[in-house]
Structures are given as structure tokens and as C-alpha cells.
Chain A
Amino acid sequence: DQQVKQNSPSLSVQEGRISILNCDYTNSMFDYFLWYKKYPAEGPTFLISISSIKDKNEDGRFTVFLNKSAKHLSLHIVPSQPGDSAVYFCAASASLSGNTGKLIFGQGTTLQVKP
């Protein structure tokens, strides 16, 4: 039972254009969502998060949108840069309502930004 899904294993975009990474979840108890970026042989690096009381959060080139009714979130990167090429993981937790912050991860999307 995969509670967090990233249906696109890979995405390729041109430098300077927008990258849109998508994530769907099934558990309505999730109230906190995060995006992590991961390079090979390194740990995941936190990018941006959003709580369920918001529908948008922005940090520089990164914006996360949350659609609770559709149980869908997306990460927008504008403009995309070659250094953004990595695996992006969506993660969710019920940490705000519960006493554990355990994260449920999607399978990841490999982003390639071409110069």
C-alpha cells in the first residue's frame, strides 16, 4: 500500500524553463508535506515544506502547491538550473496531529536539467 506516489520516474527540462514535479497521497491524516533533493551517495537534502493549513509555500526558485481535495502536491522550480539535476522525493507525515514525525516517502523523480 503506497501512501505517497510519484508517478513520473523521470523528467527532463531545458535550463531556464519551469520544472514541475508531482506527488499524490492517499492518507487523509497527512498534514505536513516535504520535498527533498538527493544526489547519488548522499543523504536527502531538505528543500521546502508545507503544512495542510496552507495551499502554497514559496522559497526562492522553489514553490510547493498543495491541493488537499485532490490529495495532490507539486513542486515548481523556476528557473531550472543544471545544478538542480537530482532525484526529488516527496514525503508526508501526520506530525502536526500526532506525536511522531515519521516520513512516508514517494519513490522519487529523477530530474535532468539540460544546458
Chain B
Amino acid sequence: DSGVTQTPKHLITATGQRVTLRCSPRSGDLSVYWYQQSLDQGLQFLIQYYNGEERAKGNILERFSAQQFPDLHSELNLSSLELGDSALYFCASSEDSQETQYFGPGTRLLVL
């Protein structure tokens, strides 16, 4: 158990809908990262937050947004969902940017 929790574990929804994925980092970790793992793309970095502020952005679509709250949990919002958004979404956390990242169990999203 990495100490990083993600909810929900599974999510099935329809195209055009909006979903919110939630992540609670390990106790004491200020950085939260979101990654997407799809069949053909492997693990891709989406976005990083540090202590509530956006720190880095990767290949995140404009339909996707994220935030980190004062209690340090983070949410990833995916809107206008398309079939191709079906993937595993992982959250990771670390004390700061120079430390090892620990991953949550992931949320499996299926868009029908």
C-alpha cells in the first residue's frame, strides 16, 4: 500500500459526459501528479500540482482540468468525454519535486 488513495476504482460513462476523479496523497506529500495510461500510449504525464499551485503541464487536453485543494487532495475533471479517453488514470504524490513519486491504485475509466 503506497498510501495514495484514488476514487472511484472504476467508472463507466457515456460519450459527452463529465466525470471527476479524486486523489488523496500520502500524508505529508505536497506534490500531486496525474498520469494517463492508455493501451497505445503507455504512461503519460498530464499535470503536477505543488501545495495548491500548478507546477507543470504535460499532454493534457483542454477538456481536462485539475486542481489541488487546501487539504492537498486533488481532483481531475474530464469533460466532453470521447471513446479515446478510456484509460487508466493514476495519481502519484511526493514530498516535493525532487523526491520519489508513489502511485495510487488508479481509476479505470470506460467511455461507451
Contact = CB atoms under 8 A, between A and B. Distances in A.
Interface string A45-56: 110010000000
A85 interface: no
Contacts of A95: 97-98
Interface of B: 2, 4, 31, 33, 35, 42-45, 48, 55-56, 58, 90, 92, 94, 96-106, 108
Interface string A35-60: 01000011111100100000000000
A99 B31 CA distance: 11
A59 B56 CA distance: 31
Contacts of B48: 100-102
A43 B105 contact: yes
A98 B44 CA distance: 19
A63 B108 CA distance: 32
B104 A43 contact: yes
Interface of A: 32, 34, 36, 41-46, 49, 89, 91, 95-96, 98-108
Given A43-B4, A43-B106, A49 B45 contact: no
Nearest to A34: B100
Q: Is the interface of A mostly helix, strand, loop or mixed?
A: loop
B101 A42 contact: no
Given A43-B90, A105-B35, 9 more contacts: A44-B90, A45-B2, A49-B100, A100-B48, A100-B55, A101-B33, A101-B98, A103-B43, A103-B45
Contacts of B97: 95, 98-101
Contacts of A44: 43, 90, 103
B106 A42 contact: yes
12 contacts: A46-B2, A49-B100, A91-B43, A95-B98, A96-B98, A99-B97, A100-B48, A103-B33, A103-B92, A105-B35, A105-B42, A105-B44
